[in-house]
A and B are shown apart, each in its own frame.
Chain A
């Protein structure tokens, strides 16, 4: 008892200032410095990418760099980002279009129709699939999906076009299996879990009153979903879709492994292509000319800008499109 008292009083006397006043100051300063580190990293990333890419941007001009169709690191040292910008936009937007409705359907099914145990299985499966590293999906694509697509889908279509519509052939391109179409299909598979999870969150956030009011008016289950739940959740669903688009735009490894990596336009449906991340992966380690390196950094800077715009748009839609000012989360 005595010793306890002694310890207590000595505790109270000795570090009083550190404990009460200085402790809080230090704590606040440390947390603010750690928080500011994240701000610095983000700003630093933008600055570093711009700084390193500025050589190419000044050499060619920003808009000329964006729209120039030639990428020639070997002979002329002429660099333009258009093939990669085009490749990125076409693969990721088509992937989103393919995957959007099935993903929302899964979200509706697991949130509204499925019994609890099934919904839990679907949920866990979706989350597990979202966690598969993209290189693992890439190796599956290289050795299983691409050969299968080539034999079962691309070659028959090409043969059919050859017999019936020979004009289509230049558009379809060489059905070797590694190309724009394969990369798009894999991207669609990869973003389905994100769209589904975010759409389900949005649907789950719809208040019970909405549903009950609709049921009270005599709606069927599907009418409740269509007229009460989906309009309320549409902001969250759209924001989720745009975030998934951002995922697809930034997806690197699986695309670099499957797209075939061809730096010249025109791209064909089955033929090889390239995206902004894939060209960085493929050429960065081998780039020797400083202009080449700088052009790759400039592509990184453009990718940064696109990702920034996509994320801000998603946040904006989330706020604006939801009924009632967007209570989604």
Chain B
């Protein structure tokens, strides 16, 4: 013990953080990103950053639901799917209307209408599912909660996928682009406006989400529930309210991701499965229940995937991240950023 202290004692704080697992991972990621930029060209990196932001939002929601409600949510991808569907049905009529009577202002705003609608529908769906499914289960199950709720989410996923297929059919519902304007030039790299806006949207949402969890009374209560349920009850925190809010928030973020990426992922009933698996890669990679890590992890996994499909081949983009996750778990079972600060007196 003493020698460890003596070793780390020489380093100033930021250096010590740099040499921790999280710091090393970040360094490696940034190095790989720069290497990709140089070797494969900027386009690969742009794709990684754009999808990465949205995977981060998906994973953060998934992680939050696991931490606060102890639910291993395998229906999370269906919120993504609902997001793509809502955005398609709101945006397509608007763009038809725009073709008939062009208006630059409406053309700029219309995509946001679709994304906002998806966000709202996602949140409402989250509330309905919590009240109709998880609240009912919570009243009836005392033991085996993790297993029972997990099975329920799998069932929910099957029902949502097939329900959508019955009502709206199995065909692809996609758009070519949100904003019909020429691509812009960012530091000599050509980026489509869709990708740029989606990236900014992901960043802003992440910032707001982070601020909400860290700095507001309700956000603090959500974190309190995830750390100690009994303690939260003792503080007068209404658990039901927090649980409804958490699922609504998580599903809204997933729907937002789906709607934002509609131009890359056309809507069809099982479109959510891939984002679901990616979100799980991220959550397992950074450590279960670690929301902050999930935000960073989204970018790491997206970079791994785009790199794999560029350097090795498009069919491999699920293989390499999975292998990477397995490798990480062998070395660090609690995930890359998984650090549990729990004292002897509490456990």
* Bind each other: no
Interface residues of A (CB under 8 A from B): none
